[in-house]
Amino acid sequence: MRVSHFLVFASLLPAAEFSGDLTRSASTAIQLAAGETAEISAGLPSPSQLPPNGRVSVEFAGYRKTLHALDPDFYIVFRAPKAGKYTLNAAVVEEAEPEFNLPRWRETGTVQKVSALPVRTPWPAGHKARLRL
């Protein structure tokens, strides 16, 4: 397996910042050859910087995850099905039904016993939280 050049570039990129003003999303792209493998990660180094119930969505090649204070990381090993440019996108989530509020299809778990999370979670003007891509 050849380690992708993305890993080298990722360590050189400054962490993206989200705020309630203009910086509400971030992205970075990588060119992959067919069959090339890459490790893709994103995360909130200090989840406590999020506003109350704050969420950030991360998406890469059709895989999406919502990051929050109790689950602040996204990680995937990806093999490109075809040559092309692949983009890692992240964006503040202000209105979406939290997955914890949806019916559980496989197991009941204990998460259903806690209070429902709010659907609307406004990002305060000027608020910033660090995100590593």
Tell me the per-residue pLDDT of 2-40, one tens digit each, with 9 for 90 and over.
Answer: 444 333 334 334 444 443 333 577 888 888 999 999 888
Q: Is residue 133 part of a domain?
A: no
Between these two residues, 106 and 63, which has the higher pLDDT value?
63
Element (H, E) at 30: strand 25-32
Q: Which of 16-20, 83-87, 113-117 has the lowest mean pLDDT?
A: 16-20
58-83 in b/e burial notation, b at 16+ Cβ within 10 A? Answer: bbbbeeebebbbeebebeeebebeee
Q: What average pLDDT is seen over the chain?
A: 76
Domain span at 26 = 5-124
The pLDDT of residue 15 is 44
> Is residue 47 situated within a structural domain?
yes
Domains of the chain: total: 1
pLDDT over threshold 90, residue 63: yes
**What pLDDT sits at residue 53?**
86
Whether residue 91 lies inside any domain: the answer is yes
With respect to residue 130, please indicate whether it lies within any of the assigned structural domains: no
Reply yes or no on whether the pLDDT at 76 is more than 60: yes
